[in-house]
Amino acid sequence: MEVIESGVTAAKGFLAAGVEAEIKYQNRKDMALIFSTTPCRAAGVFTTNMVKAAPVLWDKKIVESSPGVQAVVVNSGVANACTGRQGMECCEREAAIAGEALGIPAEAVLVASTGVIGVQLPGDRIEKGIRMLAEAKSDSRDAGLEAAKAIMTTDTVHKQIAVKFEIGGRTVTLGGMCKGSGMIHPNMCTMLAFLTTDANISKEMLQKALSRDVKDSFNMISVDGDTSTNDTLLILANGQAQNPEIHEEGEDYEIFCEALHYVTTFLARKMAGDGEGATALIESRVVGAASKEDARILAKSVICSSLTKAAVFGHDANFGRILCALGYSGAVFDPENVDLYFESKSGRLHIFGGGSACQYSEDKATKILSDPEVTILCDMHMGTEEAVAWGCDLSYEYVKINADYRS
């Protein structure tokens, strides 16, 4: 597998664009398009929040029933959530306009929105934006990059990646982009992430691969514990790589899943590390758990703890908060048997074991916790299962961003 510096336009037959549509802000790109020259099989996972944004409801229907998807239209600035019937009608109009502008059926168009909740989308600007996107679309790397930038809200960096790999003697490409930052605690999926591939894979296997993958990628990150109303992860596969169709489990499917996991994990880590106000990416690695589910619960509990997040922000080796978070996770273990380590590029430190604190250097611990990527390693000594979760520290900036998000 080869990593390439590209995103959603890396795979054969995929075009993209990003334009300034002034949905909410001035002087920044805020609408994006992904377009495939041929119909795609599509799969998706969506928020489990009872309150689902209109675009989520639209996409669920299209992913389930559409014979072929060819476009995704995304806007930032306004989430089109908690917008009632008017919000749903806006999605339908968006798909119809995009279908007309791109020469495809409205049922081939997926839509996604991110931004403030409870505000209606400006229909005229959305329409103008779609026509600009249809005009601007290109299969260049730059076009993919512009799309990745246009979906950002409080993100500080765009997030994209692509990989190349071989299936049945053919080169297959898989690329993706996402945005995260706040209201990030995905359950079934994440804020907004879009993957494109030219793999030839059945719709059933595509959905299976995606649903399996999120459990250890996007579902293992959290910025603030708030599961959004708009979480959407979509993958489009247009088959243009012409590999023998993947229609069952086996070697080809595993190669595809491995590439998929590389891409999703890369994007998920990026999202966690660029959480609102974050100064550090926190990786919580749990080993020796009694079951895979326990490992996931324990790893995620650590990165969700406000106190642990604040301690990392302060470069303070306050390991008690980590034990506390493991303890209330719901998983069963023996606290006397847990080993705790801090790890970063500056080294590794054994902090806690045998029921009490180890003799460690506070200076060394502070140095490790001052690095931009910090790993908290917990060995539960209960079995052999492992899991990794990703989060970020809790800073003044998070509060600042969210105390005044709408203005």
Residues from 299 through 318 that contact a copy of itself (CB under 8 A): 304-307, 310-311, 313-314, 316, 318
Please tell me whether residue 33 binds a copy of itself under the rule CB under 8 A.
no
Least distance from a copy of itself to the Cβ atom of residue 162, Å = 32
- Least Å distance, CB 154 to a copy of itself, is 12
Residues 172-231 that bind a copy of itself (CB under 8 A): 182-183, 185, 187, 224-229
Tell me the backbone φ, ψ of residue 346, rounded to 5 degrees. Answer: -85, -5
- From CA 149, how far away is CA 19, in angstroms rounded? 10
Q: Is 391 in the site for a copy of itself (CB under 8 A)?
A: no
Active site residues: 190
Pick the binder of a copy of itself from 37, 38, 48, 361 (CB under 8 A).
Answer: 48
Binding of residue 3 to a copy of itself (CB under 8 A): no
Site string for a copy of itself, 234-263 (x = CB under 8 A): ------------------------------
Q: Is 157 exposed, middle or buried (0-12, 13-18, 19+ CB in 10 A)?
A: exposed
If the CB atoms of residues 140 and 318 are measured against a copy of itself, the closer one turns out to be 318
Q: What are the C-alpha distances in Å from 259 to residues 17, 243, 271, 369, 372?
A: 25, 15, 19, 31, 26
Minimum CB separation of residue 214 from a copy of itself in Å reads 16
The only residue of 67, 244, 250, 354 in contact with a copy of itself, by rule CB under 8 A: 354
What is the nearest approach in angstroms of a copy of itself to the Cβ of residue 141?
35
Give the shortest CB-60-to-a copy of itself separation in angstroms.
15
Q: With binding defined as CB under 8 A, does residue 355 bind a copy of itself?
A: yes
CA-to-CA separations, 214 to 35, 44, 267, in angstroms, rounded: 24, 10, 11
- Closer Cβ to a copy of itself, 120 or 140, answer by number: 120
* Percent of the chain that is helix, strand, coil (3-state, to 5): 35, 30, 35
Tell whether residue 363 is a contact of a copy of itself (CB under 8 A).
Answer: no
CB of residue 320 vs a copy of itself: minimum separation in angstroms? 2
Helix (H) or strand (E) segment spanning residue 392: strand 385-392
Q: Count residues near a copy of itself (CB under 8 A).
A: 71
Q: Are strands 159-167 and 170-179 parallel, antiparallel or unpaired?
A: antiparallel
Within 119-138, the residues that bind a copy of itself by CB under 8 A are 119-120
Residue 167 structure tokens: 């299936």
- The bridge status of strand 170-179 relative to strand 356-357 is unpaired
DSSP code at position 138:
B
- Cα–Cα distance between 222 and 306 in angstroms, integer? 11
Residue 75 interacts with a copy of itself (CB under 8 A): yes or no: no
- Residue 34 CA to residue 46 CA, distance in Å, equals 18
- Which residues are paired to 162 by β-bridges? 4, 175
Q: Which helix (H) or strand (E) holds 73?
A: strand 69-78
The one-letter amino acid code at 121 reads L
Q: Using the minimum distance from each CB to a copy of itself, give the nearer residue, 120 or 346.
A: 120
Q: Which of residues 330-349 bind a copy of itself (CB under 8 A)?
A: 331-333, 335-336
**How far, CA to CA in Å, does 286 sit from each of 225, 258, 283, 289?**
19, 21, 10, 7
Site for a copy of itself in 4-23 (CB under 8 A): none
| Phi-psi region at 118: left, alpha or beta (left = phi > 0; alpha = psi -120 to 50) | left
Residue 86 touching a copy of itself (CB under 8 A): yes
Rounded to whole angstroms, the Cα distance separating 290 from 176 reads 34
| Of 14-22, 36-44, 94-102, 110-118: span binding a copy of itself (CB under 8 A) | 110-118
Q: Find the shortest distance in angstroms from Cβ 10 to a copy of itself.
A: 33
In the bound complex, what is the minimum distance in angstroms from residue 96's beta carbon to a copy of itself? 22
Q: Which of 58, 341, 352, 390 forms a contact with a copy of itself (CB under 8 A)?
A: 352
Q: Report whether 16 contacts 150 (CB < 8 A).
A: no
Q: Which is nearer to a copy of itself, 173 or 181 (CB)?
A: 181
- Rule CB under 8 A: choose which of 19, 23, 81, 234 binds a copy of itself: 81
Q: Which residue, 201, 191, 206, is CA-closest to 63?
A: 206
The pairing of strands 281-289 and 373-379 is: parallel
Q: Considering the rule CB under 8 A, would residue 395 count as an interface residue with a copy of itself? A: yes
Residue 79 sits in the site that holds a copy of itself (CB under 8 A): yes
Chain centre distance of CA 28:
22
